[in-house]
Amino acid sequence: MVINSTHKADLKSWVEAANEPMCSFSIQNLPYGVFNSNENLEKRIGVAIGDHVLDLNMIEKAGLLPTPKPAFNKQSLNTFMAMGPKIWSKTRKIISQELSNQASDFRGFSNVLIPLKDINLFMPFMVSDYTDFYASREHATNVGTMFRGADNALMPNWLHMPIGYNGRASTVVVSGTDVKRPRGQIKLPGLDAPVFQPSQKLDIELEMGAVVGTCSDIGSSVSVDQAQEMIFGYVLLNDWSARDIQVWEYQPLGPFLGKAFATTISPWIVTTEALEPFRVYGPSQNPAPLDYLKQAAPHNYDIELEVHLQSTIISKTNYQNMYWSSAQQLAHHSSGGCAMRTGDLLGSGTISGSNPKSMGSLLELTWNGENPIELDDGTTRTFLKDGDTITLSGYAQGDGYRIGFGYSTGSIKPPSSRP
């Protein structure tokens, strides 16, 4: 991807709200989502612009987009994502040109713009496989210290490869979906045997999700630069985690059911191309990665992130300090011949910064429940209570405009009654 006319900071739209400096959905952004409205219940694909969504199905049907076959009358973005970076880029260019051209043909359609307040949003893509990584050095050090002690905090492999595990595509849900407190095996302190009960240490993980657009074949591998080109875009991702289930089950094969009950993503996919001006170098990697993981170009992104518990901001951090980039994660994933598919979702791993208010999980913010945090309403939390609502938000700050991700939100519901 390269910087082009769609990235100009002074570009303005005839959708006036998009020109407000704090608007999430500026004309430089153009994120894709799947929506319907009460007037038209058919699920279809649109682009958020200002306080509206542009109905791409209508535009595509009129022959105004470069897609080689219909891609926007679908219930997921997978068809469009599989078309590859050239089509993504051509489509973005046309949408950008038309939304900034006062005399655009797009203005001739009735109901081509629908207010965001009048739409329902759905899962933006069909998740093929979900893989979750562990790429923040601060997070890995904090969790390792709590689980194994400071001397063994970082495992010997951690600085040599992006550590990950295969998660569940079946439990990835879109923002707004309730999260039921899981039950599981828990080893309580002082008891010799585990019990089966609702988790008492229900937690969040603030992450970004990289959405794989183009695929790679089984038996082949991709370079870091090729991996960068395969990623269609990014979403906010909350990898809900039951710490008391996790700590008992995780050895020796890694997380399993403690992280397999819900993972919430934001409904708009912000494209890799929209984020091009916000690429930055990550921390220097020492020891130097093996050749297949070496990266010369900047593959991290400067994205401001916040976590709200109800209305209280409990964490503020930035995506740019992740030790391993998503391009390195994807290259590593394919390095043994694992086929990567359109719709694969790669969780970055919990994003924690270096100060105590920049941790991406309650486990770290409260140091495994030892230091409760206080909310604006005067109550305190160690882990989540039933009825709690967590909202992730994020944006990249341009010169006078924003590339906003919207929200990833979820509320905790009590566990279902025992089967």
| Residue numbers at the binding site for Ca ion (CB under 5 A) | 132, 205, 239
* Closer Cβ to Ca ion, 157 or 286, answer by number: 157
* Closer Cβ to Ca ion, 44 or 259, answer by number: 259
269 neighbors 235 (Cβ within 8 angstroms): yes
DSSP for residue 313: E
* Closer Cβ to Ca ion, 142 or 214, answer by number: 142
By CB neighbour count within 10 A (0-12 exposed, 13-18 middle, 19+ buried), where does 81 fall?
buried
Residues with a catalytic annotation lie at 139
* Closer Cβ to Ca ion, 148 or 294, answer by number: 148
Rounded to whole angstroms, how far apart are CA atoms 188 and 194?
A: 7
* Closer Cβ to Ca ion, 119 or 163, answer by number: 163
**Shortest-Cβ-distance residue relative to Ca ion:** 239
Smallest gap from Cβ 13 to Ca ion, in A, equals: 36
Could you tell me how many residues make up the chain?
Answer: 419
CA distances from 370 to 224, 381, 382 (A): 40, 10, 8
Smallest gap from Cβ 313 to Ca ion, in A, equals: 21
Smallest gap from Cβ 349 to Ca ion, in A, equals: 6
Smallest gap from Cβ 363 to Ca ion, in A, equals: 11
261 SS3 class = coil
CA distances from 401 to 13, 102, 168, 259, 274 (A): 12, 20, 36, 36, 12
Closest of 200, 185, 196 to residue 385, by C-alpha? 200
Query: To 5 degrees, how large is the angle CA 91–CA 60–CA 226?
Result: 30
